[in-house]
């Protein structure tokens, strides 16, 4: 589904990512773990095209979206099935919840299909339905995250990326979100989830990558990583 | 009774102010560019209607549409090939650039059409109707109605159409808009085009009400700036509220205090707004 090779990226004159190799199989859920400033967001933004990498390649669904002389714009990547629920949610604050979610299907021309998809989102997130006419800026953190995920799902992505799934949210909400991630995964969507809470990360994903100061330092099955002494001391405080 | 006529005059002037400011406010609110060439675009709209009337005898109310379309295309090209390159630059740079554009457009217009005063003067331009002591000039009333229609049309456009939603999305969060699959550069160009088209319509009307010269735009840029700020940036109804408010204040003020106070009142209101509520009458308080 996604294959990243030797990817380097950064901003102006600071390099943030070094030689990243990462893959996600069809239908797989993969977690990306790493401390603050490791470059997790930069990696997701490179994949969706908000950040332009310096070198390397990104292959999505058999199509090169970034490579030598290739850099297709974000909107084209969305059209072929990528989607990102960004860190900080980035909802449109002055629009209603419903307008926000509907905009997720901007690339879809058929209004009826948008409506259908919207109904599905309300089934998946009943709490969001109750708030559908509220301005998005006025929601609680958990509700905002739900709207952000619903919005990202509206384009029927083959790969859904979520940046900071649980950050700042109450444990009850996190449990609900974990359930929803499982549901999304069951429907066949591949997921790449950035998560600082290793317990949460490894409970949604079978496989994970650990990013440290811009390099992948570890990769493997979740159980294996959970039992890894280095992970335990660095992220679990054991 | 006289007072009532003054209020009518104020409202009609306000409608004209609103018409002038809609385009500037839209462009400013969405792209964060303060277009100092806005008045020059109004001037181009005025000349478009003037020449169509003079050479082809096309009625100003018909050529409104032509004026809108001409300026729409002009605005689209100017944004796409000039302003787009500095859209992410500091506001100072965009100010400089649009200031330069203003000078350029004004000078080209002067070379092409000389500085002679012109006016679009259809037979009905001085007519009006009266009831009791009150007279209402047709053209001013039409400008007022057009301005209200345009504000509501813009509201519906921004709420209901795909392009409108893209414009609102881009104005609220550019990166999120990209993530939705919105073409941000194209949306900016369209916004600029619509804003310029609206300036063209304002120009068409103004050309019937007052003399046209290549230099006429400067004062319109200033007035539109004040109306947009006082009404509330980034709000759809701001220009209407700000325009009516300023039109009334200016007319009532000059009636009671003397005409020389008109500008003092207008810019006094600007300063007061900036101190008391910088987001304007309809603007949100926080931010
Ligand atoms: N727009 C930007 N311009 C310049 N530097 C940036 C920008 N965004 C991020 N950085 C820098 O890149 C590095 C990686 O940032 P990034 O946001 O990708 O990390 P992260 O792993 O997502 O961190 P966090 O857990 O805080 O979200 C940091 O040092 C950050 O300061
Ligand atoms: Mg981050």
CB-based burial of residue A218 (10 Å sphere; 0-12 exposed, 13-18 middle, 19+ buried)? middle
Residue A238 pLDDT class (50, 70, 90 cuts): low
> Which residue of chain A has the CA closest to B176?
A90
Using most ligand atoms within 8 A of CB, pick from A9, A11, A18 the residue to mutate for ligand 1: A11
Q: Tell me the pTM.
A: 0.92
Task: Report the C-alpha gap between B82 and B73 in whole angstroms.
Answer: 14
Subunit contact B175:A86, Cβ cutoff 8 A: yes
Q: What is the pLDDT of residue A199?
A: 87
Break chain A into its structural domains and give their ranges: 1-81+160-238, 91-156
Angle formed at CA B32 by CA B168 and CA B279, multiple of 5 degrees: 85
The H-or-E segment that residue A116 falls in is helix A111-124
Residue A92 pLDDT class (50, 70, 90 cuts): very high
Atom 5 (ligand 1) nearest CA: A11
Task: Report the C-alpha gap between A185 and A182 in whole angstroms.
Answer: 5
Q: What is the pLDDT of residue B166?
A: 97
Q: What is the pLDDT of residue B1?
A: 65
Question: Closest to B172 (Cβ–Cβ): which among A78, A86, A93?
Answer: A93
Task: Report the C-alpha gap between A82 and A116 in whole angstroms.
Answer: 20
Cβ contact B188:B170 at 8 Å: yes
User: Has residue A91 got a pLDDT over 90?
Assistant: yes
Outline where chain B has alpha helix (H): 2-31, 38-56, 60-81, 91-113, 138-160, 162-172, 174-179, 184-209, 217-231, 238-257, 262-276
Residue B284 pLDDT class (50, 70, 90 cuts): confident
Mean pLDDT of chain B: 94
Residue closest to A210 by CA, chosen among A33, A44, A35? A33
User: Has residue B286 got a pLDDT over 70?
Assistant: no
Helix axes B38-56, B60-81, angle to 10 degrees: 140
Atom 24 (ligand 1) nearest CA: A36
Which neighbouring-strand residues pair with A85? Answer: A162
Atom 2 (ligand 1) nearest CA: A11
The H-or-E segment that residue A113 falls in is helix A111-124
Q: What is the pLDDT of residue B182?
A: 98
Which ligand 1 atom lies nearest to the CA of residue A17? Answer: 14
Task: Report the C-alpha gap between A191 and A82 in whole angstroms.
Answer: 10
Q: What is the pLDDT of residue A174?
A: 95
User: Has residue B51 got a pLDDT over 90?
Assistant: yes
Cβ contact A29:A204 at 8 Å: yes
| A and B: number of Cβ contacts within 8 A | 58
Q: Which fold has domain A1-81+160-238?
A: Rossmann fold (3.40.50)
CA B228, B162, A89, A51 torsion: positive or negative? Answer: negative
Residue B287 pLDDT class (50, 70, 90 cuts): very low
Contacts of B183 in chain A (CB under 8 A): 73, 75
- B 35-74 → A contacts, CB under 8 A: none
Helix axes A141-153, A111-124, angle to 10 degrees: 140
The predicted-structure confidence for A141-183, as pLDDT tens digits, reads as follows 999 999 999 999 999 999 999 999 999 999 999 999 999 999 9
Which neighbouring-strand residues pair with A159? Answer: A82, A190
Atom 17 (ligand 1) nearest CA: A41
Distance from the CA of A106 to the center of ligand 2, in angstroms? 25
**Both tokens of residue A152?**
């990202």
Task: Report the C-alpha gap between B99 and B97 in whole angstroms.
Answer: 5
The predicted-structure confidence for A59-81, as pLDDT tens digits, reads as follows 999 999 999 999 999 999 999 99
Q: Chain B closest CA to A28's CA: distance in Å? A: 22
Residue A237 pLDDT class (50, 70, 90 cuts): low
CB proximity list for B82: less than 8 A, separation 6 or greater: B97, B101
Task: Report the C-alpha gap between A23 and B73 in whole angstroms.
Answer: 46
> Which residue of chain B has the CA closest to A107?
B181
Cα B21 to Cα A200, B26, B129, B222, distances in angstroms: 52, 8, 27, 10
Subunit contact B181:A106, Cβ cutoff 8 A: yes
The predicted-structure confidence for A24-41, as pLDDT tens digits, reads as follows 999 999 999 998 999 999
Question: Closest to B175 (Cβ–Cβ): which among A90, A94, A106?
Answer: A90
Contacts of A99 in chain B (CB under 8 A): 165
């Amino acid at each position: 589904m996604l294959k990243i090779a030797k990817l380097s990226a950064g901003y102006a004159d600071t390099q943030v990512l070094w030689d990243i190799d990462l893959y996600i199989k069809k239908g797989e859920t993969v977690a990306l773990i790493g401390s603050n400033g490791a470059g997790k967001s930069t990696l997701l933004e490179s994949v969706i095209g908000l950040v332009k990498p310096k070198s390397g390649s990104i292959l999505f669904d058999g199509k090169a979206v970034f490579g030598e002389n290739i850099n297709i714009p974000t909107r084209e990547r969305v059209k072929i099935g990528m989607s990102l629920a960004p860190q900080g949610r980035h909802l449109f604050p002055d629009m209603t919840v419903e307008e926000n979610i509907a905009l997720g299907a901007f690339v879809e021309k058929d209004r009826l299909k948008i409506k259908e998809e919207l109904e599905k989102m309300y089934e998946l997130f009943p709490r969001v339905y109750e708030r559908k006419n509220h301005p998005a800026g006025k929601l609680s953190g958990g509700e905002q995250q739900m709207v952000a995920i619903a919005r990202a799902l509206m384009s029927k992505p083959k790969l859904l990326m979520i940046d900071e799934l649980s950050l700042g949210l109450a444990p009850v909400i996190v449990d609900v979100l974990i359930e929803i991630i499982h549901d999304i995964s069951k429907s066949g969507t591949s997921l790449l989830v950035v998560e600082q809470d290793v317990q949460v990360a490894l409970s949604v994903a079978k496989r994970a990558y650990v990013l440290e100061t811009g390099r992948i330092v570890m990769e493997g099955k979740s159980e294996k990583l959970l039992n890894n002494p280095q992970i335990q001391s660095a992220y679990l405080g054991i | 009774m006289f007072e009532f006529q003054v209020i009518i005059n104020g409202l009609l002037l306000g409608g004209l102010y609103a018409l002038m400011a809609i385009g500037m406010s839209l462009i400013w609110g969405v792209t964060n560019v303060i277009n100092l060439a806005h008045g020059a675009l109004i001037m181009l709209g005025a000349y478009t209607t003037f020449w169509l009337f003079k050479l082809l005898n096309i009625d100003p109310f018909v050529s409104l549409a032509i004026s809108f379309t001409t300026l729409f295309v002009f605005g689209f090209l100017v944004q796409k090939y000039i302003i787009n390159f500095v859209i992410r630059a500091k506001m100072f740079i965009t100010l400089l650039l649009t200031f330069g554009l203003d000078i350029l457009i004004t000078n080209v217009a002067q070379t092409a059409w000389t500085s002679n005063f012109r006016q679009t003067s259809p037979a009905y331009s001085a007519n009006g109707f009266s009831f009791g002591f009150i007279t209402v000039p047709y053209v001013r009333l039409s400008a007022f109605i057009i301005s209200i229609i345009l504000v509501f049309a813009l509201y519906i456009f921004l709420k209901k159409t795909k392009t409108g939603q893209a414009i609102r999305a881009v104005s609220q969060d550019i990166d999120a808009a990209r993530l939705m699959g919105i073409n941000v550069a194209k949306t900016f160009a369209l916004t600029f085009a619509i804003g310029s088209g609206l300036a063209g319509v304002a120009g068409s009307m103004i050309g019937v009400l007052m003399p046209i010269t290549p230099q006429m735009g400067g004062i319109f840029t200033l007035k539109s700036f004040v109306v947009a700020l006082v009404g509330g940036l980034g709000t759809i109804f701001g220009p209407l509220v700000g325009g009516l408010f300023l039109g009334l204040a200016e007319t009532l003020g000059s009636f009671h205090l003397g005409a020389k106070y008109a500008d003092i009142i207008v810019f006094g209101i600007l300063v007061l707004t900036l101190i008391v509520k910088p987001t304007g009458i309809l603007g949100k308080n926080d931010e």
